[in-house]
Amino acid sequence: MGFIEFIIGFLKDPRTYIAGWILALGPVFVYAPLFLVVFIETGVVFFPFLPGDSLLFACGVFSADGWGLNLFVTLAVFYAAAILGNTSNYWIARFFGSRIIDSGKVKALTAERMAKLDHFFAKYGGLTIVITRFMPFFRTFAPFIAGTGHMNFGKFTFYNCIGGISWVTVFVLAGYFFGGVPFVQEHFSTIVMGIILISVLPAIIGAVKGALASRRRPVPDEGEGSPRS
């Protein structure tokens, strides 16, 4: 329960957690837990629910002058975490992908999400790795699906770098430039939750569309296809 409580607490008040880490670990070693959160979210298929977007935004706020983090170090650490995380995810899928899927232990890796990712790969190819960076859950599963056979490693690495750098840059700089605005400061937790909601909205819409489509499918007649007497 401690880990779940940490996630819930972080989502409610990320500033308190990051400030606590800075005070406890110092301005150098604080980057270790920050690296791990992003690396695990993108690199381990069992943890797609970690707060990547909100963490990047909050760390962008703390990278402004006098808040304890350095902007360029923050960007570099998260670039490495995002790119290496996806690379780890890809190779896990290469070696163990079919076993993990068949085991059914990753409940979030549903048939609907896999079908959606298959559709993305068919439509956008390698750009799927870039697009899904901005979509929680899907950004964890996209490199996994790519590793199961959708993409060779060289092509994957190219799009992985573009997607990781783009994702980190957008959210960290958004926090850096807008985190000091009084309105943002006063409504920080609400804005963080809004970022999360906007991020997961495509997944929610896709799930609703899939559910509606399944309801509209005609139910085959029980006698259909059976031999006539």
Structural domain boundaries, residue 194:
2-211
Evaluate whether residue 34 is within a structural domain: yes
Q: Is the pLDDT of residue 137 over 60?
A: yes
Q: Which amino acid is at 122?
A: A
Q: How many domains does the chain have?
A: 1
Evaluate whether residue 175 is within a structural domain: yes
Evaluate whether residue 96 is within a structural domain: yes
Give the model's pLDDT for residue 1: 43
Give the model's pLDDT for residue 106: 66
Note the Cα 153 to chain centre separation in Å. Answer: 20
Evaluate whether residue 102 is within a structural domain: yes
Give the model's pLDDT for residue 120: 79
What's the whole-model pTM score? 0.77
Integer Cα distance of 218 and 136 in angstroms? 32
Evaluate whether residue 227 is within a structural domain: no
Q: Is the pLDDT of residue 4 over 90?
A: no
Evaluate whether residue 33 is within a structural domain: yes
Q: How far is CA 16 from CA 59, 184, 225, in A?
A: 12, 15, 63
Integer Cα distance of 55 and 16 in angstroms? 12
Evaluate whether residue 225 is within a structural domain: no
Evaluate whether residue 221 is within a structural domain: no
| pLDDT band at 228; cut points 50, 70, 90 | very low
Integer Cα distance of 209 and 79 in angstroms? 34
The tens digit of pLDDT for each residue in 175-202 reads 898 877 777 767 666 776 666 666 666 5
Higher pLDDT, 21 or 48: 21
* Tokens 């076993």 -> residue: 99
